[in-house]
Structure 1
Amino acid sequence: MTKESLNSSRTPSDGHLADTNPNSAQTLAASCSQPVLTLSQGAPVSDTASSQTLGQNGPVLLQDVDFIEKLAHFDRERIPERVVHAKGSGAFGTFRPYRSMRDYTSAAFLQDPSVSTRFLIRFSTVIGSKGSPDTDRDPRGFAVKFYTSQGNYDVVGLSLPVFFIRDAMQFPDFIHSQKPDPCTNIKNYAHVWDFFSLTPESLHQLMWLYSDRGIVKDFAKMDGFGVNTFVWVNGKGERFYVKYRFTAQEPFDIIDRKEGKRLAGQDPDIAVRTLHRRLALGDPIRYEFQVQIMKPEMADQLSFDPLDDTKIWPEDQFPFQKVGMMVLNENPKNFFTDIEQAAFCPANIVPGIEFSADKMLQGRTFSYTDTQRYRIGANFAQLPVNRPVSPVANDQQDGYMAYKNPPGCVNYKPNSLDRNNPQEAPMPCYPGMRYPGGTVQRSVLEKTDDYSQARTRYRSLPDAEKARLADAIGWELAQAPMEIRKRQLDLFAKVSADLANRVSREIYLFETGRKG
């Protein structure tokens, strides 16, 4: 073999032997204009239609890893469908504010009219399963995920401005009454109306749901509403209640009950199909982002509770302000990756936006996030569609499908070994939201006294047990850096000088080899 041929069998970058096997995936790929079929680990697959058998007609072999991987992965392709909002479709777009909203909020994505923010919208039916028709009578989900520079902000709303109940405690009961009968697995209208007839707060929503807005066949002609009340906070610490509306820029279609049933049979995916086809043709869809704003002190002057999700705010008192335009213009590259795995959680907020005491919102901040952890896994936020564009740094680790574990070996706080990194973010020092029962805050107990009971406990120990305690602590502290030893000995001295002296002596004995 010549010197040139020897050198050519190595990659110039890392010096490792190159793969010269003519049947390797790399070699095959290099010789083809298209990528070759491989296993998940990269090994090439030569036959994807025939399993390995013992002879021509014998049993299939367990060693056929191509066969095992193909079927085993297929068996696990489905993830649990959402309990509500199971059938959905969506797309990406960009949002740009008309003007700065700094008078009301410090949220970065609402400050600069020259800066656009990418977003994802998911449209859905609330009650039906994944196979339900688009034209069922339904309040419909209108969920928006803004990928802001400060993290993701999710607004999980509806196509109607109010909800059936005002307290999240009732949510499982409401959904159970609307879902198929547990005995027959068929929708039971006795259950539906039994619940409504015992829940007068649902009346307002029923006036919306059974009006012309209850059936939709084109998402471009459907408004979205935040339903919940959020709190905006500006740079001065001033707070405002806000409600959201996403107004379709195209005229509304009227579809009555009979037309909805006809379409459900002829084209049950009409809204999904129309959305995808339109964006594929390069025809964007627009929604205007609008808000109603209320000072919290005005709440007591109203005849209703403005944090009640079964109520709207009168527009003559709280007119909608135009915030900006949302342009939907990009179909998902892969439906499962971009839409089915999309996790919308009302708990996802950004600086400048807070939660109100809206009982439905308070419950949803837990329930939606908890659902995603069950449905997709604890690391659902690492999936590309859910990953924020802003940097992520925390001490969360492991769990199913973790591929973004934090770097380094120190994964707790407080710590001195990594200078307490990542550092806690500096936040505005204005007080939290004020309620009759107190102010929202993070605070330590007033009465701490970390030493008295530890001192009493140490003094109660017999001398022999004190010695064993010092031995056990000293053996471990002898393996820690000097700075940590000193810090811990200073704490022990505040409990008892005797304790600190004993432990210090034990460390010395272990270090000098006089004790093993």
Structure 2
Amino acid sequence: MAKKNGPVKPGNQPENEKTRSLQPHTADATGEWMTTDHGVRINDDQNSLKAGERGATLLEDFILREKITHFDHERIPERIVHARGSGAHGVFKLYKSQAAVTKAHFLNDTETETPVFVRFSTVAGSRGSTDLARDVRGFAVKFYTQQGNFDLVGNNMPVFFIQDAMKFPDLVHAVKPEPDNEMPQAASAHDTFWDFISLMPESAHMIMWAMSDRAIPRSLRMMEGFGVHTFRLINEKGEACFVKFHWKPLLGVHSVAWDEAQNISGKDPDFHRRDLWDAIESGAFPEWELGLQIVPEADEFKFEFDLLDPTKLIPEELVPVQRIGKMTLNRNPDNFFAETEQVAFHVGHIVPGIDFSNDPLMQGRLFSYTDTQLIRLGGPNFHEIPINRPVVPVHNNQRDGFMRQTINKGKTSYGPNSIGHNDPEQAKSADGGFTSYQERIDAKKVRARSKSFFDHFSQATLFFNSQSEPEKNHITDALSFELGKVKTIAIRERMLGILSLIDLKLAANVASALGLPVSKAPQQPINHSIPADGKIADYQPLIVKSSLKSSAALSMANTVKDTIKTRKIAILAADGVAADSLNLVKKALVAAGAVVELVAPKLGVIKAADGSGIPVDQSFLTAASVLYDAVYVPGGAKSIAVLETEANAIHFLNEAFKHCKAIAADQDAIKVLEATYFSKKLPKDAADETIRREGVAIGSDAAKLAKQFIMAIAQHRFWEREKPRKVPA
């Protein structure tokens, strides 16, 4: 159909094969005549057809019926888990061919950019829940490769709560809102979750991750991703090795404080979603490097843990992560529902050169994903939805069903056939066809677990021992908060017994917060995953100590701290601000890649001391310190006089200090800092070393101050001041 106002120019979108494949299904938002779903132009979409102006609405109004019917059916069932998500398009580029270990083309071809679509998500909450819940984050990547789609369906934590997929419904039922009152939403701090966990010690390792700062990331762009399971890679010779997949963010791994997360949930529950969208729109494209941990088949049993156990990770000290390529997210979706909501991931979507292991959690997921999409997306043709379509042609004998879009020609939809020349023909391995890895199996059918899965505590202890002191304090506080919400005392006591097998000091500190003693002997039996024959004793956890005392990769304290790119900085100012100090510091921050916003008592324009006008980005009514990474207060006598008596400005600074953020102030603005509560807590020495340690910089030389401030922001947080310098805010 002809454009009403001529052609509409497409946006400045990066081109790749998947982008081009979506274009035929993408409609421009402007420049068209309104039509029905069947192409009939509409001249009135505002009024229904009536028998007279005040008469009854007529059943013959097909335009009304179509519009209302479509509206009534616009919602599809939300995902049972990972319901709240954010998505983005991008590309993956390989650094070096991995032909030695896999025949997967996209891991061999260094010239081609492989299109990807990534969906991040929380797990437990509904679509309308907050981004800042304490929760695991989904990290699912769909590679549109030349051999078909490969879905790497992972999380931001490398292990999981359970060892066997049979327990997945129980886990989700336990963590979801309790069925009698549908509370609490998107939270694990309630009786049913901890009842389940306290009876399932295999969850001990994952609980340490979930109670750590990994569960409240600063940004989706600043968290790691993991394939969780142990996969296989297979090369052209048919040789296999085991592999763990990692995503390493180039911005480092950073978190927010728990109190801060709770505040953000009230101020902006879309905080992570907005952060991802804004970064891509501004051209600050998020980047991760894909890493592999390769284990030869001959080394399968060389470790103190079982490679097939999804509650275990491979410490990077034992098997280093090889970074083999980079993923860049460079385009936001055009339509949230059509892309982010309808994208269908499946751990079973693999390509030649990648295969499964016998991880019992993975094996169950192979069934679950397809079954889920059948009900969510209307039937077996969900692969024909544009966002799910591969970039290579699809040819098979599948036909019909709900929402079929492909129009197949010819008489035959079966094989073998002679009428249709036996098309489509099966591909041989030499033609790029997928063949499953030929693993020798000689075993009895049993409902049981390998005894190599019985160690539930060694890696939980390793994780806790690997944390910095502030991180350990956060885990203790998180456990105290969560168990403090549990009303059943017996569940609290049982969990304290579990914690005592991880770390006695941890258990004692949590017990003190709960006003309970730590039991000398944990409740028996500990593990209630009882086999059919009822031999509970056979299923008691092994108490094993890891040969590693700690692993540097497990602590966020060791992450990248050399950039302030995309960090959000607030400048507090009012009329009479010194424009020179404001502009110089702002220019330095922007040059270093930060996003800077001026926050003032009211919106509009503030008048600087030199008479110039400076646009205000946010007012104290619309802004909050929890939405920023750092705060700067420039000079200017009149501005300082306003801010030191402005309760919102003082609260803004107190809260930023409470959450351990970098703060900078012009020497003249020290009066504003003196009006805060935290000024009483600061050491009097203002030497550079003190500034670096405490994260508060004060100076009269704006250029020098800017450098110190940038260095402080790059540290992300000054967690060490959290307890000794605790302030009300």
TM-score if structure 1 supplies the norm length?
0.78
Aligned position for 1:342: 343
Q: 1:27 to 1:181 in 2, by over 3 A?
A: closer
Distance apart, 1:266 and its partner CA: 0.6
Q: Is the 8 A contact 1:240 1:295 kept in 2?
A: yes
Q: Is the 8 A contact 2:411 2:419 kept in 1?
A: no
Distance apart, 1:323 and its partner CA: 1.2
Cα distance between partner residues in 2 of 1:30 and 1:435? 65
Cα distance between partner residues in 2 of 1:26 and 1:46? 16
> 1:368 is paired with a residue of what secondary structure?
helix
Cα distance between partner residues in 1 of 2:149 and 2:180? 41
Aligned position for 2:285: 284
Cα distance between partner residues in 1 of 2:308 and 2:383? 29
Cα distance between partner residues in 2 of 1:320 and 1:276? 29
Cα distance between partner residues in 1 of 2:428 and 2:242? 24
Structure 2: 5+ residue runs without aligned partners? Answer: 9-29, 444-729
Aligned position for 1:380: 382
Q: 1:418 to 1:82 in 2, by over 3 A?
A: same
2:75 maps to which of 59, 73, 78: 78
Cα distance between partner residues in 1 of 2:251 and 2:220? 10
Distance apart, 1:262 and its partner CA: 0.5
Cα distance between partner residues in 2 of 1:125 and 1:416? 51
2:119 maps to which of 122, 128, 143: 122
Distance apart, 1:431 and its partner CA: 8.3
1:36-55 to 2 correspondences below 5 Å: 36-55=33-52
Cα distance between partner residues in 2 of 1:121 and 1:254? 21
Aligned position for 1:390: 392
Aligned position for 1:418: 420
> 1:371 is paired with a residue of what secondary structure?
helix
Aligned position for 1:69: 66
Q: 1:56 to 1:356 in 2, by over 3 A?
A: same
Aligned position for 2:24: none
Aligned position for 1:296: 297
Aligned position for 1:321: 322
2:56 maps to which of 54, 59, 65: 59
What's the CA shift string for 1:243-297, capped at 9, x where partnerless? 1000111133331221111111111000000110111111111000001111223
Cα distance between partner residues in 2 of 1:53 and 1:432? 67
Q: Which has the larger radius of gyration?
A: 1
Aligned position for 1:494: none
2:403 maps to which of 401, 408, 418: 401
Q: Is the 8 A contact 2:88 2:119 kept in 1?
A: yes
Q: Which amino acid aligns with 2:398?
A: Q
> 2:40 is paired with a residue of what secondary structure?
coil
Report percent identity of matched pairs: 44
Q: 1:52 to 1:209 in 2, by over 3 A?
A: same
Alignment partner of 1:163 is 2:165: no
Cα distance between partner residues in 2 of 1:31 and 1:368? 41
Cα distance between partner residues in 1 of 2:402 and 2:283? 38
Distance apart, 1:26 and its partner CA: 6.2
Cα distance between partner residues in 2 of 1:142 and 1:358? 19
Which of the pair has the greater relative contact order for Cα pairs under 8 Å at 6+ separation?
1
Q: Is the 8 A contact 2:3 2:33 kept in 1?
A: no
> 1:300 is paired with a residue of what secondary structure?
coil
Cα distance between partner residues in 1 of 2:177 and 2:247? 31
Q: Is the 8 A contact 1:398 1:405 kept in 2?
A: no
What's the CA shift string for 1:220-239, capped at 9, x where partnerless? 10111100111100011100
Q: Is the 8 A contact 2:3 2:32 kept in 1?
A: no
Distance apart, 1:27 and its partner CA: 10
Cα distance between partner residues in 2 of 1:28 and 1:235? 55
1:80-119 to 2 correspondences below 5 Å: 80-119=77-116
1:481-500 to 2 correspondences below 5 Å: none
Q: Which amino acid aligns with 2:361?
A: M
What's the CA shift string for 1:464-504, capped at 9, x where partnerless? xxxxxxxxxxxxxxxxxxxxxxxxxxxxxxxxxxxxxxxxx
Q: Is the 8 A contact 1:29 1:36 kept in 2?
A: no
Q: 1:301 to 1:253 in 2, by over 3 A?
A: closer
Q: 1:78 to 1:431 in 2, by over 3 A?
A: closer
Q: Which amino acid aligns with 2:93?
A: R
1:497-512 to 2 correspondences below 5 Å: none
> 1:388 is paired with a residue of what secondary structure?
coil
Q: Which amino acid aligns with 1:393?
A: H
Cα distance between partner residues in 2 of 1:227 and 1:435? 24
What's the CA shift string for 1:385-435, capped at 9, x where partnerless? 100011110011111110114321100011111121100011159983324
Cα distance between partner residues in 2 of 1:195 and 1:91? 35
Aligned position for 1:357: 358
Cα distance between partner residues in 2 of 1:216 and 1:185? 26
Which moves more between the two structures, 147-156 or 299-308? 299-308
Distance apart, 1:28 and its partner CA: 7.1
Cα distance between partner residues in 2 of 1:34 and 1:294? 56
Aligned position for 2:573: none
> 1:201 is paired with a residue of what secondary structure?
helix
1:139-218 to 2 correspondences below 5 Å: 139-187=136-184, 189-218=190-219
Cα distance between partner residues in 2 of 1:329 and 1:372? 27
Aligned position for 1:450: none
> 1:328 is paired with a residue of what secondary structure?
strand
Structure 1: 5+ residue runs without aligned partners? Answer: 1-24, 439-516
Aligned position for 2:726: none
Q: Is the 8 A contact 1:122 1:144 kept in 2?
A: yes
Residues matched between the structures, number? 414
TM-score if structure 2 supplies the norm length?
0.55
